[in-house]
Every structure is written in structure tokens, then in C-alpha cells.
Amino acid sequence: MEHVDEYNITLKVRNNLLLQAFKDNGDYPGQELAEKIGITYVMLNAYIALKLSPIHRNGNYRDSVYKICEYLKKLPEELWT
């Protein structure tokens, strides 16, 4: 009888452009940063983990994306490709 090992693999996909912009700004993504920006911590993490699209169904950037961009002094195109 052949023994088969089971493996659990976790793959994390992150928006490195956004993370690097925060790092360059001297910030670390967390609750305090989300409050400074004016969005929820859950939303901030969703953008970092690429679980939430920066573009709304109507084709425009979400208001929270503009808040992040304003805070970082960047254009949306610089943070999301």
C-alpha cells in the first residue's frame, strides 16, 4: 500500500505597489493607518490582498481608492495596474 502525504499550501497574493507606497511613506498597514486614511481596516486589507477591486461596477474608481491615493499623494494608476 502506497503512503500519500497530504500538504496544505497557502498562496498569498498582495498588491506590492500599494504596500511599497505605504512603506515609502513610513506607514505600516493597520487599524491606525486605516483611520488616518478614513476607510475601514477590513477595506484596507481587502485592497492589499487584491480581494476588492479598486474599480466599481460603473467603471469609476471607488471613493476609498481616492482616499488612499490622496493620503499617499499618488494616482490610482500608480498603485493598481
**Which of 3-7, 29-33, 37-41, 73-77 is predicted with the least confidence, judged by mean pLDDT?**
3-7
pLDDT score of 1 more than 70: no
* Average pLDDT, rounded, for the chain: 92
Q: Which residues contact 21 (CB under 8 A, 6 or more apart)?
A: 72, 74, 78, 79
What value does the mean pLDDT take over residues 60-72? 97
| Whether this model's pTM surpasses 0.75 | yes
Predicted confidence (pLDDT) per residue in 50-62, tens digit: 999 999 999 999 9
Residue 61 is predicted with a pLDDT of 96
What is the C-alpha separation between 7 and 67, in angstroms, rounded?
41
Q: Which residues contact 45 (CB under 8 A, 6 or more apart)?
A: 29, 51
